Chain A
Amino acid sequence: MQPNDPAIRWAEEPKLGLAGKMYLPLFFQGLTTTARHLVSPKVTVSYPDQEPQIDNPLIYRGVHRLNKDEQGRVKCVACFLCATACPAHCIDIVGVESPWPDREKYPESFTIDELRCIYCGMCEEACPVDAIELTSLYNLTGRSREEMVFDKEKLLSVYDETKDKEPMRSLPIAAPRPE
């Protein structure tokens, strides 16, 4: 691109007045800005002493949970869409024939490796029945790698733990729609 290209918009420096050339406005601007920030409220959260405020738990991406339907059964239908969508390949599902009449399959086992997971939320988006969701639990720790592989019972217990604070994204599927 040449300097006389019409697409270039040349911005002119603002002309300095006498005060500007004396550096006085810059001097006082700089000092007042720093002095103001010196005493302004701090944004740091002192974590172990102070819990962070999560603005909207519904869109926070923390530990996973497996939702239950109104009869207490796991909502998952073992369709494998979450496992397919997962970029970290951390979801492992064994689907078997469902004992219930309203679906064909259900997960016999459902494990998520919380250490491999990158908390991107794609499983949540892929799920057609809103069975897998990310909660706002952020302080996940464990003493071994095995402990951090969450199985179906653990994921369902996360649901029990968080269902009051964080409602499901979609309401449970109500009675069949009138024909």
Chain B
Amino acid sequence: MIDKAVIANPRTKYGSGRGATRHFITQRLTGALNIGFTGFLIWLVFRLAGATHPEFIGIVGNPVVAILLAILIVNVVIHMRIGMREVIEDYVHDERVNRLSRLLSNFFGLAIIVLAWGALAKIAFWG
């Protein structure tokens, strides 16, 4: 019989006991951090709009800016990965397509981090 206790039990397939609480907390934590990062990002984009290459390198290559951007990217990817997983869980009902979608989403997030960190390292260390 399916009752509240069965649904709440993470060992059953009912409900979402696999990581729901952790995702809930992580999502709030990264979200709160992103409030601060938003101001920083908008300042940076406006500051660098139409900037020449040396200006761009000078500002993005600044250790504080580069490190903040590196953390921002990771924080954003953690947040958007959980968000996209929630969307996939809601709309993709076929188990295999569901797993595949989540896998692709993970790869997307990973690619964003790797590419951004690569670009930042190049800018910060080699100009």
Q: A and B bound?
A: no
